[in-house]
Amino acid sequence: MIFFWAFVIGGAICVIGQILFDVFKLNPGQTLTILVVVGAILDGVGLYEPLIDFAGAGATVPITSFGNSLVHGAMQEAEKHGLVGVVTGMFEVTSAGISAAIIFGVIGAIIFKPKG
Amino acid sequence: MADKKKKNLPPEAQNYQAFQEEREVKRPVLLNCIKAFLVGGFICFIGQLISTFYIYYFHFTEQTAGNPTTATLIFITMLLTGFGIYDRIGQFAGAGSAVPVTGFGNAVISSAIEYKTEGFILGVGSNMLKLAGPVIVYGVFSAFLVALVKTLLIKWGVI
Amino acid sequence: MTIKKWLFLIGLLCILSSCGNESALEPSNKANEKLDLTHISTKNNDTSQHPANQAKDALSKYKEITEVKAVNTTKQLIIAVQVEQNKRFNLTSIRKQLQKEMKKKFPDHKVELTTDKKIVIELKKLEEKLQSESISKKKVEKRVKEIIKLSKEQT
């Protein structure tokens, strides 16, 4: 059942991105930035975690979850260390996406040939 | 906002803007949205499969399975990007391939591969995070603002 | 114009954030048919699962719960539940409500309640071992400790 909702919610978030592309005529960089910020705000108001509970990967795979994890990391650290934690704690929970992208980027550059 | 700019232009320029809008290729918004929905949903479905696989066969809980799932998806993206398949998917699906974390991975990896000709330090190293840059910068900054506001509200007893 | 837009957005956010998790679980008297409620009975008194079986019975009155697994030692009780898909939106408040209820019901045990699928799987394996009497009290305690630690992992 969660597979169905992962498909639907993930697809819905991508449709929002597509609307930002086609109707608001934004480029991918702007769209992804807006989506990450929206993810951070939704976690701030406590709406993103229930979405993850409901849709599983449908909410953790889109780029919006990156904003959500950053807020989580900051809040966790702020609970322990006060206001300073907001600055220091952000990447505690979130390193998978960025590290993986960089590591596989370098590996990709080593093994694959450029097309252009 | 674009309309305000248009109103400030002299009449010939406004005529040209109208002329250009008529000739501009109309984007089939509904069709694009359907394609984005299907491909984006499918990528998230695969993500759920990988996540469930890690929960059942490895020592990961629902909480901790997100990280290996992301790493696996980006690994798959590396293969698809290296063989040129991800670009074809991107042409078909638009946001359906750009919004999931695989799109982020593709942006980083394809830049890394393309700039290999300029060397590893100046080419790959400098250009890898061209698209990822704003995402990380504004992601971190907005998370900082959100967490700051929330922490202050909790401190002052409002929440 | 832009100030009005910002005020509208902030107002919208405040409304959204108050859209909290209201709907809690409601107990019903009907038997929950989907639930697999096998009581674990062990001949060895040391590994008696009486509190765990009681916990399962107490939780079976909620029809939204689709799976419940529980194992106890003399001092600890770990319970794992699965909630039906439509209620998963309120998972955090359901978990808190059930934790409170179980902690009140078993004051002399350290009660841990989780909604994680992995813990359900691990407890199922442990229950089978208990049922087939192939595990000693010490091993049960060790396993329960490990499972509780697993349920608390954050990353």
Distance CA C151, CA C77 (A): 13
Containing domain of residue A66, as a range?
A: 2-111
Residues sharing a CB contact under 8 Å with residue B100, sequence separation 6 or more, in sequence order: A10, A14, A61, A62, A63, B40, B43, B44, B47, B73
Tally of structural domains, chain A? 1
Nearest CA in chain C to B58: C118
Tally of structural domains, chain C? 1
Indicate whether A15 belongs to any domain.
Answer: yes
Verify whether the Cβ–Cβ distance A86 to B51 is below 8 Å.
no
Whether A93 contacts chain C with CB within 8 A: yes
Distance CA A63, CA B78 (A): 17
Indicate whether A30 belongs to any domain.
Answer: yes
DSSP secondary structure letters along chain A: -HHHHHHHHHHHHHHHHHHHHHTS---HHHHHHHHHHHHHHHHHTT-HHHHHHHHTHHHHSBTHHHHHHHHHHHHHHHHHHTTHHHHHSGGGT--HHHHHHHHHHHHHHHHSPP--
The distance of Cα C31 from the centroid of its chain, to the nearest Å, equals 19
CB B40 within 8 A of CB B96: yes
Indicate whether A22 belongs to any domain.
Answer: yes
* Three-class SS state of C43: coil
Containing domain of residue C96, as a range?
A: 33-151
Verify whether the Cβ–Cβ distance B138 to A36 is below 8 Å.
yes
The CATH number that applies at residue C103 is 3.30.300
pLDDT at C138 over 70: yes
- In this prediction, residue B90 has a pLDDT band, given cuts at 50, 70 and 90, of very high
CB C72 within 8 A of CB C51: yes
- In this prediction, residue C23 has a pLDDT band, given cuts at 50, 70 and 90, of low
pLDDT at A8 over 90: yes
Q: Given this model, what pLDDT does residue A114 score?
A: 86
Tokens 């994890």, located at residue: A69
Indicate whether C13 belongs to any domain.
Answer: no
CB A39 within 8 A of CB A9: no
Distance CA A112, CA B65 (A): 29
Chain A positions in Cβ-Cβ contact with residue B70 (cut-off 8 Å): 60-61, 96-97, 100
Indicate whether C28 belongs to any domain.
Answer: no
Q: What is the pLDDT of residues A15-44, one digit of tens each?
A: 999 999 999 999 999 999 999 999 999 999
Q: What is the pLDDT of residues C66-116, one digit of tens each?
A: 999 999 888 899 999 999 999 899 999 999 999 999 999 999 899 999 999
Distance CA A103, CA A94 (A): 15
Tell which A residues from 30 to 59 touch B, by Cβ distance under 8 Å.
30-33, 35-37, 40-41, 43-44, 56-58
Mean pLDDT of chain B: 90
Q: What is the pLDDT of residues A69-104, one digit of tens each?
A: 999 999 999 999 989 999 998 888 888 899 999 999
Verify whether the Cβ–Cβ distance C117 to B67 is below 8 Å.
no
Structure-token pair, residue B98: 């750009």
- State the complex-level ipTM: 0.93
Distance CA C59, CA C151 (A): 19
Indicate whether A41 belongs to any domain.
Answer: yes
Indicate whether A116 belongs to any domain.
Answer: no
Tell which B residues from 32 to 91 touch A, by Cβ distance under 8 Å.
32-33, 36-45, 47-51, 66-71, 73-75, 77-78, 81-84
Which residue ranges make up each domain of chain B? Answer: 31-128, 131-159
